[in-house]
A and B are shown apart, each in its own frame.
Chain A
Amino acid sequence: MLSILRSPLLHPLNERQAWSALLGALNPRWSLTEARAQVLSVVVETPTVSSFWLRPNGAFKGFKAGQHVLVGLELNGVREFRAFSFSSAPDADKSFRITVQRQPHGRVTAALHQLKPGDWVHLGQASGDYSPSSQTAPLLLIAAGSGITPMLGLLAQIARSGIDRDVVLLQCVRQRAGLIGDAELAARSASIPGLRRLLHVSEAQGRIDSGSLDTLVPDWQRRETLLCGPASFARSFERAFERRGLLGQLKIERFGSLLPTIDESAPVLPVVFTSSVQSFTAAAGQSLLAAAEAVGLQPRFGCRRGICKTCQCRKQSGIVKNLHTGEISGAGDEWISLCISTPLSRVEISA
């Protein structure tokens, strides 16, 4: 039936974009082309963490446990997205859960925490490859703070598979009150007999580092390890694996502290085109367009005075200055014109 509707013979009567626009006019939340989701329920995990069960529309193409997804809200007219790990495993009814830590000055996470059942959010498509490479090999999961979220999804997946797997979960939190998913993990222990939970509360037991591994998980070297936590936390464990030449069996998901800062003193700053994996440097005061051309790249361009938008690219991260008006950009993702933007920090651009 659906394939008949998609037949080119019916064109343009079956143009999805047009029908989507029509639906969107009737109800701004309806779309045939853009992935969106409706909030089914909200679960308060801790004073600063809540989980949201979401039901996506047909434009969402599904996910695998351990992946992450961009979730967006319109704030003051601007559609803003943040990435979250799925904290559930794929289910027959297609709904899924994300678990959101409210950031101290985060406008988006604050707005997400206002969501109620029935509300709608924008979605990206699932991405990432964060899951054990083997179905059966012994596993070590290390999670710091809200880094537990992908682990919840992965453990749900293991529980569903019915394979009794040797899994050690090392959960690190600052205070006991910040513990996420305690009841759920207790239930997991029942369905995965091979699951061993270790809890480290740093306020009581002191900062954990890779050195603690030998005492907590003596056989860690023979386990495939997945780690999720802040960049500094991840770094210390990464070094330990590096020293033993075991980096190949470690997968890391980092979050936080990636916000770029303005670097006034740097004579040149690195610029990365993420889609083509090309990188180059731009001097202070040099436009990104001129810098790219200087190394032989050929980005699209038009007027070279910032009015025609031909050279417009999506900045993923980094701070740029408008060469005409001196305007300083934000640090996150937004549109910039290469011809009138000069970097003030490391900049990542998806062309």
Chain B
Amino acid sequence: MNKIQRRDLNPNELTALAAELDAVRLKVKASLGERDAKHIRRMQQYVLASEISGRGLLMFGWGPLSFIAGVVSLAFSKILENMEVGHNVMHGQYDWMNDPSLNSQTYEWEIVCDGGHWRHSHNVEHHNHTNILGRDHDYGYGMLRLTDAQRWSPATFFQPFWYLLLALLFQWGVAVHDIKIGRYLKGRMGRAEFRERVQPFLRKAGRMLFKDYVLFPLLALWNAPRVLLGNLLANLIRNVWTNAIIFCGHFTRDAHVYMRDEVSDECRGAWYLRQIQGSSNLEGGRWFHLLTGHLSHQIEHHLFPDLPAPRYAEIAPEVRAICARFGIGYNSAGFFRQYFGVLGRIFRYALPPRSRPELMSA
């Protein structure tokens, strides 16, 4: 397998790249309408219908088959809500509809992570500073070493294990992300600010825990243990799936990293270029794309985070052609190939730079 090399463009090329990508964006924006509105409302209906059927099967069903069906249905609901509805709505992809229930700044999603926290850590920080070490706090989530430019410590050696924990508890990782506990522990954040940051997390997490592990089990009366276990499994499935998809977005084998001094005077074309070279796509069918919230089109999503996600699939060939014209690598492959690349990186950089055998870097 050939490695996709990072390419840097000269200022003229960067201006031309920005113009071509802006043209793609304008074309999509001009064609937004009924079709996009219908799509997101249909997705909301799927979310609701599968949540009702999932919770219903867990509460009122009996036997293992209805249990499995209930877990799958509820996990499906949570995944679709988090990925295709929540994440995308909170990016402002449907703000143009002027429907208050689909407004990016007020939408609250079905996960323990507070919406306001997410809008900041994801929309403001991650999408702006994508893959810049030290600025994009999503890069390795402060616990994984994925490139030699990151410092190695003895704890890094156990990072495959840390990663397993993160994947299983992913919604909690996301939920505490914007509190910035590390900054507080290092004394770089005052107590008052820390308390203010913790509050939305506690409120949201409390509500979600109450709903999944107290309210619905109690409503099921004697079926309480079954509902509790089912909800736990559904959350677990959602965590593992969303984690795998999200890690494929920027940590695949050929996804590039940027240093702070490289982007000090970055123009718009360079920002676009960084979004392309720091992201990677997954290939699959329509339902695969829906269940990833179209993060399978991570490159298109990072270029145009506020265009309705189903449009990414439509413009992907155009974006790919533009990349080819400028000689920029377009990082796209099937899920398993990309995810093995991610796991490879987690294992590979667990070792300190010198002790790692050179063979593995081939």
Contacts and interface: CB of A to CB of B under 8 A. Distances in A.
Nearest to A77: B37
Given A28-B41, A324-B268, A335-B95, A307 B33 contact: no
A299 B293 CA distance: 31
B36 A77 contact: yes
B123 A307 contact: yes
Contacts of B95: 309, 312, 335
A21 B101 contact: yes
Contact of A25 (B45, B97, B210): B45
Interface residues of A, number: 28
B33 A325 contact: no
A164 interface: no
Given A78-B97, A307-B306, A308-B123, A22 B48 contact: yes
Given A77-B32, A302-B124, A327-B26, A310 B119 contact: yes
Nearest to B108: A17
A80 B123 contact: no
B26 A76 contact: no
A307 B305 CA distance: 7
Contacts of B150: none
A34 interface: yes
A4 interface: no
A79 B97 contact: yes
A25 B268 CA distance: 41
Nearest to A20: B101
Interface string B268-298: 1001000000000000000000000000000
Mostly helix, strand, loop or mixed at chain B's interface?
helix
Contact of A308 (B49, B100, B127): B127
B124 A77 contact: no
Contacts of A334: 96, 98
A120 to B, nearest CB: 14
B33 A77 contact: yes
A13 interface: yes
Most buried by B among A302, A308, A325: A308
Contacts of A307: 123, 127-128, 305-306
Most buried by B among A309, A310, A324: A309
B123 A302 contact: yes
B104 A312 contact: yes
Interface of A: 12-13, 17, 21-22, 24-25, 28, 34, 74, 76-80, 302-303, 305, 307-310, 312, 324-325, 327, 334-335
Q: Please name the 5 residue pairs, one residue from A and one from B, whose CB atoms are nearest each other, closest first.
A: A77-B37, A302-B124, A308-B123, A303-B128, A309-B92
